[in-house]
Structure 1
Amino acid sequence: MSETTADLARRLAQNAEAACREYLSSGRRSGRYWIVGDVRNTPGRSMFVRLKDSLKGPAGNWTDAATGEHGDLLDVIRESCGLVDFKDVADEAWRFLALPHPEPESASRYKRKAPAPTSSPLAAKRLFSMAQPIAGTLAESYFRNRGITALHGTGSLQFHPRCYYRPDEHEPTQTWPALIASVTDLDGHQTGAHRTWLDPNGFSEARLGKAPIDTPRRAMGDLLGNAVRFGVAGEVMAAGEGIETMLSLRCVLPDLPMAAALSAAHLAALTLPVSLRRLYIVCDDDPAGEEARNSLGARAEAEGIETLTIAPMLGDLNEDLRLRGLDALTASVRVQLAPQDVARFLKTAQLA
């Protein structure tokens, strides 16, 4: 073990209980141990983390009685966060050590604090921080195979090569590559994350590049009113459901600020900026999409915001882009824009 690794392990052991609360939030303290299901933060009682030095071993060491696995808190960070490279493990450990950690024995209020849920905004921020830019990754290929080439200004999207997926609480955890999207509020603060697990074997028309699992899309954190954003909204913006839908529109209107609310229900509840004067609602061709358009449109108009609908030729704009092509999508969108926005936004798209 190198000096750096040993130093990290020692520092983590000095904050063993705080580390367990951070990375093993599904567990709880029991005497001198932290008890949890396994090193991947599954609820249960088979894994024991020593919180204080003793004759049986140093603080921070753990053993899973069910599997025989054992290790230290660096292993906990690696497994619970789904990291591969030691550099990423070390970076996350130093990030954690830079946080203030109250003494668990003296801070009774801290001792009573409930562990953060694994689907909390904090967990979403942690997941997004562990991912990498999409350029040159399977996530970029996923978009290009769906006809999406306008990937400028997509800092809200990242790629994770081994993102955890659990079919349900009774089945073992799997790992799949995933597109990770940051969900933010109007001030740009991250409130959640959205995961799209991808097929590592490449694109197929049957699944459109998504992993062969039951639920290849899941969200976590605080989503209500928030969205995955592309550009900063001013007086004009577009809002719709899916990331792929909005990025398809971005191929036609690359400078128009956009928001993907991730579902029809969340589109209906989207929080609108006070500066907004005209809103384009991108409507999927289904009853839920129409209901979301009507609900959001009525609320926007009540706030004095002009609303216009961008409807697809087929099921959604990405289907239009893939099956009809960019020229047909451009022509379809053009006739649905306000005249002033044709000159302001569409002209740029045609010259791109």
Structure 2
Amino acid sequence: MTGSASELARRLGEHAEAVCREYLSNGQRSGNHWIVGDVRNTRGRSMHVRLKANAKGLPGKWVDEQSGEHGDLLDAIRESCGLLEFRDVADEARRFLAMPRPQAQDPGAQRQPAAARGSPEAARRLFGMSRPIAGTLAERYLAGRGILLTAHERALRFHPGCYYRDLVTGEMQTLPALIAAVTSLDGRITGLQRTYLSSGLDPSGKVGKAPIPDPRRSLGHLLGNGIWLGLDLGTPVPVMAAGEGFETMASLRTVMPALPVAAATSANHLAGLTFPPGCRRLYIAADADAAGRHGIERLSRRAGEAGILALALRPQLGDFNDDLLHLGPTHLAASLGDQLVPEDARRFLPSG
């Protein structure tokens, strides 16, 4: 830690309780500690911030007993505010402490601008601040939907305190969220989809979506790109499947784990999906509504023009996640086996 960082951390420690009330507002004081869920200001009791110096150490030091994370109040400001650059963290700390900003050593140096709301850069920063889904609410949510994916799916992450703004009232809150990266074929993140989750269990004992008007939101550049599962960069993809919804496509991949799939997030984006190199056969997950049919027709037409055979896969119930949940993986696999080209059924369905 640099000298300036050490000094800022020390000054923040002198006002540890005030810092916690500002940046870890979902917690409360208990004796000589501020108790909160985690450094991202989630509700709970896992993280302890020391408020006064004692034999165990300096004020402002904290530890999350569940995750093992630890740090000082600069780290708390960084994580709770979603900042990435130290200069931004330092500026926020100085603002709180009413300290003047130091003169730049290079008068001509330009500060890196904040990422614009809804931009690909904002998507990349949020994805980078999230963590793998193993052992999180996101993994439990997917399991409750019958979706079982391997730990190698790089597109999926979890954020315990993702910002959500009510578009009517403007009210802001933080909610846990499943984060799915939308990428181009070269693997660059261009956007993402957030599925906001409830922090508790629903009546069935599962993790559900948050009780908000629109628990699923996307940001960034989505057209032409998708949430890719099983895409091996730089390798031809002769056979793949595509559809609108992430859970629909993840359900297909649950029973066909070797098949690369892409979720385009909407019917319009599905129609404009970019085909990977070497694609010869494209299975399109059908959607019952008019917009879905329109997206399938446009994508099929584009595939034909590119010399790709497009074939529709149709669920027996509302969508393939309904099939997976209510009919079971064996029944879903059998239904898909009747719709796949025999060569693909032998290759992608475990039962052959």
Q: Does 1:129 align with 2:132?
A: no
State the one-letter code of the partner of 2:108.
S
Counterpart-to-counterpart distance in 2, 1:115 and 1:129 = 15
Q: Please list the CA deviations of residues 268-325 of structure 1 after superposition, one character each: whole Å capped at 9, or x if unmatched.
A: 1111123111101111222222111111001001110011111111111001111111
State the one-letter code of the partner of 1:290.
R
Identity of aligned residues (%): 47
Equivalent in 253, 261, 265 of residue 256 of structure 2: 253
How far did 1:8 drift? 7.4
Q: 1:190 to 1:103 in 2, by over 3 A?
A: farther
Q: Please list the CA deviations of residues 169-211 of structure 1 after superposition, one character each: whole Å capped at 9, or x if unmatched.
A: 7523101100011110011111011100001112457998100
Does the aligned pair in 1 maintain the 2:140–2:206 contact within 8 Å?
no
- 1:106 aligned partner: 108
Equivalent in 296, 299, 321 of residue 296 of structure 1: 299
How far did 1:78 drift? 3.3
Where do 1:49-88 residues align within 5 Å? 77-81=78-82
Counterpart-to-counterpart distance in 2, 1:288 and 1:245 = 16
How far did 1:153 drift? 3.1
Counterpart-to-counterpart distance in 1, 2:188 and 2:194 = 18
Does the aligned pair in 2 maintain the 1:153–1:230 contact within 8 Å?
no
How far did 1:73 drift? 7.8
The CA RMSD measured in Å over matched residues stands at 3.2
- 1:30 aligned partner: none
Q: Please list the CA deviations of residues 107-128 of structure 1 after superposition, one character each: whole Å capped at 9, or x if unmatched.
A: 6xx69x9864211111100000
Counterpart-to-counterpart distance in 2, 1:170 and 1:115 = 25
How far did 1:80 drift? 2.9
- 2:6 aligned partner: 6
Counterpart-to-counterpart distance in 1, 2:4 and 2:258 = 46
State the one-letter code of the partner of 1:332.
S
Counterpart-to-counterpart distance in 1, 2:106 and 2:222 = 32
How far did 1:326 drift? 1.2
TM-score, normalisation: structure 2: 0.70
* Bigger Cα displacement from structure 2, 229-238 vs 215-224: 229-238
Q: 1:73 to 1:172 in 2, by over 3 A?
A: farther
Where do 1:20-59 residues align within 5 Å? none
Tell me the SS of whatever aligns to 2:6: helix
Q: Does 1:350 align with 2:351?
A: yes
How far did 1:9 drift? 6.9
TM-score, normalisation: structure 1: 0.70
Tell me the SS of whatever aligns to 1:199: strand
- 1:337 aligned partner: 340
Q: 1:145 to 1:75 in 2, by over 3 A?
A: closer
Q: Does 1:158 align with 2:157?
A: yes
Tell me the SS of whatever aligns to 2:311: strand
How far did 1:148 drift? 1.2
Counterpart-to-counterpart distance in 1, 2:203 and 2:291 = 27
Does the aligned pair in 1 maintain the 2:147–2:250 contact within 8 Å?
yes
Counterpart-to-counterpart distance in 1, 2:183 and 2:217 = 16
How far did 1:93 drift? 4.0
